[in-house]
Amino acid sequence: MRIIKVALGTNSYEVRVGPGLLSQAGRWLSELGFGNKLVIITDPSVNRLYGEMLNRALTEFDFNVNTLLVAEGEDQKSLETAGRLYHQLTDCYTERSTPILTLGGGVIGDLGGFVAATYMRGVPLVQLPTTLLAQVDSSIGGKVAVDHERLKNKIGAFYQPKLVIADTDTLKTLPAKELANGMAEVIKSAAIRSKEFFAYLEGNLDRIKSLDENVLEEVVFQTASIKAEVVEKDETDLGLRNILNYGHTIGHAIESVTDFSMGHGSVVAIGMVAAATISNRMGMLDKNDLHRLKNVIVSTGLPTKLPNIKVEKIVQAMRHDKKVSQDRIRFILLKSLGSALVSDDVSPSLVEKVLIGDEKT
Ligand code: NAD
Ligand code: GLY
């Protein structure tokens, strides 16, 4: 097992990473000194795969467990579902000391975290992420939220968990599409923060694809460590934490133009290549690094180019985004692999040219 300490003063916690960890949850939760009641929020698929094992691990330590099921899908990240969960929590007589355990991907983590942050003005939260994206990104850093009408992730809070348990064995049942979504965030994290980890990824893509236990643990550990380090320096996203949005400025615009019909990993991958190309055009990232980035993305099975979508629509969607001021778009750019910066100086016409593919690289 590898342990990452997220140092946030009185909100500090550990992220424990490795195979077989869910079976240790009972011991660790009893060490945290919670009462004997617990609530698990999960979805039916994850519950089918891991619910029984987790229940056994908890009841072995005399916990009384209530499991609340939420259907799968982003549309469950809503005030309506949160409202239903508040009622269910009241029905199972939970108290302010009763922890909520979120077992699942980012949807369950964000929704369950939002409910934990708001029910009775906050009950303890423990994240048990089971997708690669959730293990390396969404379970760490305390952003919890629901979507509301067109406001994606806009109704929420910063609410740090008491513990994150990332059992890498759970990644073995992930559909390929979900693994690719997580890999986009893994590549992003290496690209913005660690050239050594980027080189590690280059050398281990086959072993990641074959779900090699040691390599998965290393990948989750390294990526989660990058997230933890950035969050420690900027918990409430006022500066440095923006770099985690590398690839997401264009990615979000593609999602909105295509009505979320493309996978999140795919749009982030296209966004990363575009932002890297823009970086190169603005005299930063060199050609060799740009090619290395593209190669890793292609080898992961993610796209590097836009499908047949009108580029003007994407640029228009970015202009509507809050990150635009005085005809300049806020972008996360790469100085080199492993080093990112926030730039407020990217012109929409350069973005358009790069997306059309008019790049001389
Ligand atoms: P998800 O939560 O929708 O999970 C994807 C699917 O995988 C679901 O159908 C789920 O049932 C299934 N699944 C989960 N674990 C599994 C396993 N081990 N084996 C088999 N199937 C499994 O998707 P996601 O990519 O994990 O999360 C996306 C969400 O995360 C979005 O809502 C996004 O906004 C949010 N997010 C939040 C943050 C943050 O900082 N809070 C960061 C990034 C993304
Ligand atoms: N996923 C971006 C952040 O946590 O800030």
Q: Per-block average pLDDT, block size 10, for the chain (361 residues)?
A: 98 98 98 95 98 98 97 97 98 93 98 98 98 98 95 95 98 96 98 98 96 97 98 97 96 91 95 98 97 98 91 86 68 97 92 80 45
Helices 264-281 + 176-193 axis angle, to 10 = 30
Best probe residue, ligand 2, of 140, 245, 342 (max atoms within 8 Å of C-beta): 245
CA distance 47 to 40: 10
Give CA torsion, residues 245, 294, 206, 263, to 10 deg: 50
Specify the residue with its C-alpha closest to ligand 1, atom 20.
174
pTM of the model: 0.97
Q: Which pairing describes strands 100-104 and 125-129: parallel, antiparallel, or unpaired? A: parallel
For residue 303, how far is its CA from the centre of ligand 2 (angstroms)? 22
Please enumerate in sequence order all residues whose Cβ is within 8 A of that of 140, keeping only pairs 6 or more positions apart, or say none: 6, 15, 127, 164, 224, 227, 228, 231
The predicted structure's pLDDT at residue 361? 45
The pair phi, psi for residue 258, each rounded to 5°, is -95, 10
Nearest to 81 by CA among 145, 138, 34: 145
The predicted structure's pLDDT at residue 154? 92
304 lines ligand 1 (CB under 6 A): no
For residue 142, how far is its CA from the centre of ligand 2 (angstroms)? 9
Specify the residue with its C-alpha closest to ligand 2, atom 3.
244
Question: Taking the CA of residue 286 as centre, how many other CA atoms within 13 Å lie in the half-sphere pointing to its CB?
Answer: 1
CA distance 337 to 284: 10
The predicted structure's pLDDT at residue 357? 84
Specify the residue with its C-alpha closest to ligand 2, atom 2.
244
